[in-house]
Amino acid sequence: MGRWGGAIVAAVSVLGLVGCGSASEEQAETKAQAGEPVFDPCSVPEDVLLAIGVDPASESRDILGVKQPGWSLCRWNEPDRAFYFTIFATGISLDTILTNERFIHVTPIDLAGREAFTVRETSDRRNEHCDVVLAVGPDTLMVQTSLGRGLPPTESPCPQAIENAELLEPSLPR
């Protein structure tokens, strides 16, 4: 599956939250009203990216440069591609994302006094991704940590995802 393959699968999975399948009329209406996110996920300060352990020069916006309606995303990788760090920003409400059937293991966490949750995607059968989901102003962020392609899955990528979110949190608007 190449360098972008795993990332594209993960991104399409997240971006399909309220788009495909058996979306109810309420979900479709929520998507239409959500609009574009205000937060620019590529605005993370370089020192934060270095603290997380990713290369700021590896930044890639959107999916292969293609903007996804209602979403903004930015992705970086660790120099040896051992893990990827992606921030998805959307105008879709936190509650809508947390109640989406595509997510399992929704677990509340404290992120510097912010309400936040770890979530796992039902499609992640190899245990390669973990998202920390939180509200930032009018937007919802999904901060994803993913194992590099071809690496054996760990017990859980969530501890690293939480640590990465903790490093990111001070640079996020309230």
Tell me the HSE value of 143 on the side-chain side, using a 13 A CA sphere.
29
Reading the block at residue 143, the tokens are: 């901060």
The answer on pLDDT for 75 being more than 90 is: yes
- CA-to-CA distance for 76 and 56, rounded, in angstroms? 7
Locate all alpha helices (DSSP H) within the chain, ordered by sequence. 2-15, 25-34, 46-52, 94-98, 158-168
pTM over 0.75: yes
HSE on the CB side for 158, CA within 13 Å?
A: 18
pLDDT at 130 over 70: yes
The average pLDDT across 156-163 equals: 91
- Correct CATH for 2-171 of 3.40.1000, 1.10.3470, 1.10.10, 3.40.720: 3.40.1000
Using a pLDDT cut of 90, give the percent of the chain over it. 60
Contact 38, 137 (CB under 8 A): yes
What is the overall mean pLDDT for the chain? 82
Based on DSSP, count helices (H) and strands (E) in the chain, helices before strands. 5, 7
Distance CA(64)–CA(62), nearest Å, equals 6
Q: What pLDDT was estimated at residue 35?
A: 78
Of 102, 100, 162, 101, the C-alpha closest to 130 is: 162
Residue 12's pLDDT is what? 45
What pLDDT is attached to residue 66? 86
Of 47-51, 96-100, 126-130, the least confident: 126-130
- pLDDT-based confidence at residue 151 (cuts at 50, 70, 90): low
Neighbours of 109 (CB within 10 A): 17
Average pLDDT for residues 124-138, to the nearest whole number?
92
